[in-house]
Structure 1
Amino acid sequence: MTDTPAPIPAPWIADTQDIGRLVRAVYACISGPAGAPRDWARFRYLMHPRALSLRTVIEADGSTRAVVFDVEQYIADVAPLFADNDFFEVETDQRIERFGQIAHVWSKYDARPAPGSPVLLKRGANSIQVCHEHGRWWVVCTVWDNEREGLAFDLF
């Protein structure tokens, strides 16, 4: 008996055919109530096999550093946060700049404890690079920073 891979769900395939939809699908994968399983299988499908994420960190003394993750490291890093906290990240604006088979997406987001909640946990911007390969779009790199004092939220 051979193991046959499960068919890829049609909505996942559709996610990879449009850049804007691809980005919104990533947000959907990481959003949910505390303790609810995230759709990591879909998340992995959206990411290029060599994708990286970079989180900016502001230290107490004001200095900065970058924390870089591959897909599995990112999942391991955020899993405890999502286990203990309601977290819904929603895109609020998007700008796509495309040249051939590559594109850059500026994506503004709000994070809230529930969809439509008046409570804002954080706000920021993602810089997302995507490429078109093998008939689909892939997220190759995501770099993000959060709004804070001294960092105006007037990206676009």
Structure 2
Amino acid sequence: MSATHRRPSRFARLLVLAAAACVAPTAAHTAPAPPAAEDRDRDLGSIDGILDRLYGAISGPAGPRDWDAFRTLFAPGARLIPTVRRPGEPAAARVLTPDEFVEASAPRLKEEGFFEREVARRVDRFGAMAHVFSTYESRHAKDDAKPFSRGINSIQLLDDGRRWWVVTIFWDAERAGTTIPPEYLPRQE
């Protein structure tokens, strides 16, 4: 055989396998750990269940939250992304890890009540992924007559066959000139 058609040496084949091993396992190493039985019992096996837990984890009267329970909702590498608006500047995305979100939110939630609830939902699903447009209302007290804020959470979820995981939450709030369209609000009966 000529040099250009020779089989790769055993050493060259090992180098290729080693290089592939460095790249291929990334997904396996970052895959979420199997849930504890108690997590499955709390209904993380459904979109309804994980969204109930998500809203429940951040909502409550002034005081600490169960941030460990909050963190169990997220897949490794998950992101929370609020839309940020500053006067005179274009809209921007502030990308946070769940831990960075906790660090930014915990002091304020210790001082102020915050109750966020879903009022409408639109779900698109394919295979192991789901995209949820979840319209929310935020109040300082559970029984406040009017919300102080409304908006839409764009939530991407992963179903690993055992439970749902939050991959990304990207949200924007309603404001003057930008109101929530009727198709994302509760249906009037």
TM over 0.5: yes
Instruction: Measure, in 2, the Cα distance between the counterparts of 1:126 and 1:94.
Output: 10
Give the Å deviation of 1:62: 4.8
Matched position secondary structure for 1:20 = helix
Instruction: Measure, in 2, the Cα distance between the counterparts of 1:67 and 1:127.
Output: 14
Give the Å deviation of 1:61: 1.6
- Greater length-normalized contact order (CA 8 Å, ≥ 6 residues apart): 1
Instruction: Measure, in 2, the Cα distance between the counterparts of 1:75 and 1:133.
Output: 25
Structure 1 counterpart of 2:122, from 76, 88, 95:
95
- Mapped contact 1:113–1:119 kept (Cα < 8 A): no
Residue 3 of structure 2: aligned partner: none
- Could you list the structure 1 runs, at least 4 aligned residues long, displaced by more than 6 angstroms after superposition: none
Residue 158 of structure 2: aligned partner: 131
Instruction: Measure, in 2, the Cα distance between the counterparts of 1:25 and 1:127.
Output: 16
Larger radius of gyration: 2
* Structure 2 unaligned regions, length at least 5: 1-34, 185-189
Instruction: Measure, in 2, the Cα distance between the counterparts of 1:86 and 1:119.
Output: 14
Matched position secondary structure for 1:117 = coil
TM-score normalised according to structure 2 size: 0.73
Aligned length in residues? 148
1:67 aligns with 2:94: yes
Give the Å deviation of 1:134: 5.0
Instruction: Measure, in 1, the Cα distance between the counterparts of 2:57 and 2:36.
Output: 16
Higher strand share: 1
Higher helix share: 2
RMSD: 1.7
Q: Deviations over 1:95-131 (max 9, x none)?
A: 1111011000010000001223113221000000001
Give the Å deviation of 1:15: 3.0
Structure 2 counterpart of 1:144, from 152, 171, 181:
171
Instruction: Measure, in 1, the Cα distance between the counterparts of 2:72 and 2:145.
Output: 32
